[in-house]
Amino acid sequence: MSTFIEHLRVLRATLLRLLLTPNATLLNVLIIGIALSLPVGGYVILKSVQSLTGQLTGTPQISVFIKVGTGAGEVTRIGDKLKQNAKIERVEFVPRDVAFKKLQQSTELSDVIGDLSQNPLPDAYIVYPKATDASAMESLRDELKTWAQFDHVQLDSAWVHRLEAVLGFGRLAVGILAGLLSFALIAITFNTIRLQILTRRDEIEVAKLIGATDAFIRRPFLYFGLAQGLLGGVAAWLIVSGSVFLLNHYLGDLASVYASEFSLLSLSIADSATLLGFAAYLGWLGAWFSVSQHLWQIEPR
């Protein structure tokens, strides 16, 4: 219980120290917030574009064509077997007569279709997979190709590969940016704590003279770095959330011109918690590096 009270006392003193230097605190928090908002904003844009692409391209699907001459009972059994597959969300049956009528309605092929004496099209199923990434869909396609009842299995995965390539490049760019800015934020906290250690050098020497441990001396600096990082995360959240709100106001008018409903997605609770936790960790890490490097250099004279 005494340890818990001691931690609360140190945390209270740390927050008070932040309040006593409002200009420096505000500047550091804004720098951290702006830096963090850049990769977080990129993440929001990527997530929004991914959801928009899904609306534009529709649900990915696999077309399976049953061998001509297969009986109606066997076609029904095939459909039931497809529905029982754990990798398939749902299936849609396309009878050969319906497909032939749709083909006849095509103006480009009306002359060719008119010369046919019988329906050459087979019965088919449209398969909607549960997983829509390229590798999962190709795996399901290869599995369906092994079924003896199917004459042809078709998957149009080119757009899936293009989408994943673009999003993969975007994720890499955001990841690199996040890594570089995280290093910069650690450096900012490192330098801030270094200056505090130098300023409080006499106080630290006295504390060591009366027997204070390194852990006791280190604790307020670690709390300071953690609190500063957390406040920077809050600033980043406010910047990103405010930007999304303002941009969506104008995107709504722009999207209505093109009869679309595109809007940027807001940060979810999980995303927000991750942002705040990561920002606090960066602040703590920068403080830990700084204290570890400079504290041992101070010894009582």
* pLDDT tens digit sequence for 117-153: 667 678 888 888 887 777 788 888 888 888 888 888 8
Count helices and strands in the chain by DSSP H and E runs: 10, 4
Q: Which residue has the tokens 């709100």?
A: 245
Out of 12-26, 221-235, 262-276, least confident range: 12-26
Alpha helices in 65-123 (DSSP H): 72-83, 96-104, 110-114
Task: Determine what percent of the chain falls in helix, strand and coil, rounding each to the nearest 5.
Answer: 70, 10, 20
* pLDDT for position 269: 93
At which residue do the structure tokens 């920068």 appear? Answer: 286
* 283: nearest Cα among 215, 208, 230, 211: 230
Phi-psi region of 58 (alpha: psi -120 to 50; beta: other; left: phi over 0): left
For the stretch 166-212, pLDDT in tens is 778 888 888 898 898 888 888 888 888 888 887 777 777 777 777 76
What is the structure's pLDDT at 285?
92
Encode 2-31: b = buried (16+ Cβ within 10 Å), e = exposed: eeeeeeeebbeebeeebeeeeeebeebbee
pLDDT above 70 covers what percent of the chain? 79
Query: What tokens were used for 146?
Result: 């092994």
Average pLDDT, the chain: 79
Phi, psi of 63 (to 5 degrees): -100, 125
CA–CA dist 62, 245 (Å, integer): 38
7 pLDDT tier (thresholds 50, 70, 90): low
Which of these, 276, 238, 263, lies nearest to 47 by C-alpha position? 263
Distance CA 279, CA 24 (A): 18
Residue 87 has a pLDDT of: 86
Q: How far apart are CA 258 and CA 104, in angstroms?
A: 32
Give CATH for domain 61-156. Answer: 3.30.70.3040
> pTM of the entire structure?
0.65
CATH 3.30.70.3040 boundaries in the chain: 61-156
User: Which amino acid, one-letter code, is at 229?
Assistant: G
Token duo for residue 199: 């300023």
Q: Give the pLDDT band (50/70/90) at residue 40.
A: very high
The total number of residues written for the chain in this structure: 301
